[in-house]
């Protein structure tokens, strides 16, 4: 991938997608964002990128956007909620989007497709979990949709002329993060600084990676690999418990709240309570995350507090 390529980023108005767009634009790429803006935000899209508001579950709409002028596609668009009220709709939407994008890219002769998957494909696997760990047994419909998407992309990579990169993310944190534990704790403590409800028993423990490290890792892998299908875990070697996240957020806000717990070893149905990905395959390419899981949480907390304060000032 060259710095002056024309690149399509689906889901480029979302948290990770918009940071990827920022990086691609900064090094000189011509970037087009395809996003339905249901969870993404127009204001997060770099002014030097082109935004196309499009329903990626609509095959014809996707074919109208994807043409042979593109050198690469980054496919990040998805319905991501694990606690999804319409799981069948989520599965059908995610697999339809991926099939439409992959088919249209192949039809246009686009050789490079990068796809963002998730650690949830592994289900409750031993830690640290390597990319070749069998069996793949997700415990949520969201995870099942990611497995289906990976399988489809593998088929295109092995039978066609496309190169595919599949990135299995740990929990990605940083600016623009919404609907996750760090911004949730910030909002709860802003509403009531004296107490904080924590889902589960607080001992759930996962790897958290800062979005800047995540983008750097993705681009490094794409530069260094060229197999038909390249699958990599992206995360850190360390983990952070939910109670530890609460401690970090409370400290950054200058608070000392009492904690209450809803109980149980997982926060909700489909939640994987313990997760740490092996990143030895990534390290073998000469890349290491700059921040530990705790450091990523602390930096993201500071960034989100500043961002939410700015949003509040703008609203006034």
- Residue 121, CB-side half-sphere exposure with 13 Å CA sphere: 28
Distance CA 134, CA 137 (A): 8
One domain, residues 229 and 149: yes
One domain, residues 124 and 197: no
Q: pLDDT exceeding 90 applies to what percent of the chain? A: 91
The verdict on residue 286 lying in a domain is no
Which pLDDT score, from 0 to 100, does residue 316 have? 61
Residue labelled with tokens 């990770």 = 16
Distance CA 93, CA 84 (A): 12
Which pLDDT score, from 0 to 100, does residue 310 have? 80
Handedness of CA 175, 181, 187, 192 (dihedral sign): negative
One domain, residues 195 and 159: no
Tens digit of pLDDT for each residue in 168-225?
Answer: 999 999 999 999 999 999 999 999 999 999 999 999 999 999 999 999 999 999 999 9
One domain, residues 311 and 255: yes
The verdict on residue 226 lying in a domain is yes
Which pLDDT score, from 0 to 100, does residue 213 have? 98
One domain, residues 12 and 135: yes
Range of the domain at 93: 6-172+208-234
One domain, residues 46 and 93: yes
Q: Which residue has the higher pLDDT, 19 or 312?
A: 19
Is the predicted pLDDT of residue 1 greater than 70, yes or no? no
Helices (H), strands (E): how many in the chain? Answer: 9, 14
Dmax (CA) for the chain in angstroms is 58
Tens digit of pLDDT for each residue in 124-136?
Answer: 999 999 999 999 9
Which pLDDT score, from 0 to 100, does residue 189 have? 97
The pTM score is 0.95
One domain, residues 28 and 130: yes
Q: Please report which confidence band the pLDDT of residue 83 belongs to, taking 50, 70 and 90 as the band edges.
A: confident
Tens digit of pLDDT for each residue in 249-304?
Answer: 999 999 999 999 999 988 888 889 999 999 999 999 999 999 999 999 999 999 99
Q: Is 13 helix (H, G, I), strand (E, B) or coil?
A: coil
Which pLDDT score, from 0 to 100, does residue 314 have? 73
The verdict on residue 1 lying in a domain is no
Tokens of 161: 């002329």
Cα–Cα distances (Å) from 299 to 209, 249, 284, in that order, read 10, 10, 27
Average pLDDT on 297-314 reads 89
């Amino acid at each position: 991938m060259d710095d002056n390529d024309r690149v399509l980023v689906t889901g480029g108005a979302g948290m990770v997608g918009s940071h990827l767009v920022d990086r691609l634009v900064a090094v000189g790429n011509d970037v087009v964002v395809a996003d339905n803006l249901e969870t993404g935000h127009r204001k997060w899209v770099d002014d030097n990128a082109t935004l196309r508001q499009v329903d990626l579950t609509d095959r014809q709409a996707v074919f109208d956007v994807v043409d042979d002028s593109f050198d690469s596609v980054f496919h990040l668009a998805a319905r991501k909620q694990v606690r999804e009220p319409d799981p069948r709709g989520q599965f059908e939407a995610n697999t339809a989007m991926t099939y439409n994008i992959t088919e249209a890219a192949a039809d246009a002769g686009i050789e490079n497709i990068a796809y963002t998957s998730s650690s949830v494909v592994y289900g409750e696997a031993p830690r640290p979990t390597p990319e070749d760990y069998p069996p793949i047994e997700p415990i949520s419909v969201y995870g099942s949709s990611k497995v289906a998407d990976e399988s489809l992309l593998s088929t295109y990579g092995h039978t066609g002329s496309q190169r595919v990169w599949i990135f299995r993310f740990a929990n990605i944190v940083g600016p623009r993060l919404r609907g996750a534990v760090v911004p949730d704790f910030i909002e709860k403590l802003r509403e009531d600084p004296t107490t904080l409800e924590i889902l589960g028993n607080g001992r759930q423990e996962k790897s958290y990676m800062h979005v800047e490290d995540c983008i750097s890792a993705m681009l490094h892998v794409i530069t260094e690999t060229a197999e038909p299908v390249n699958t990599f875990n992206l995360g850190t070697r360390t983990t952070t418990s939910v109670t530890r996240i609460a401690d970090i957020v409370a400290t950054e806000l200058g608070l000392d709240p009492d904690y209450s717990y809803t109980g149980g070893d997982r926060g909700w149905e489909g939640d994987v309570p313990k997760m740490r990905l092996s990143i030895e395959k990534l390290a073998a390419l000469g890349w290491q995350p700059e921040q530990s899981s705790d450091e990523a949480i602390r930096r993201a907390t500071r960034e989100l507090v500043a961002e939410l304060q700015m949003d509040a000032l703008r609203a006034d």
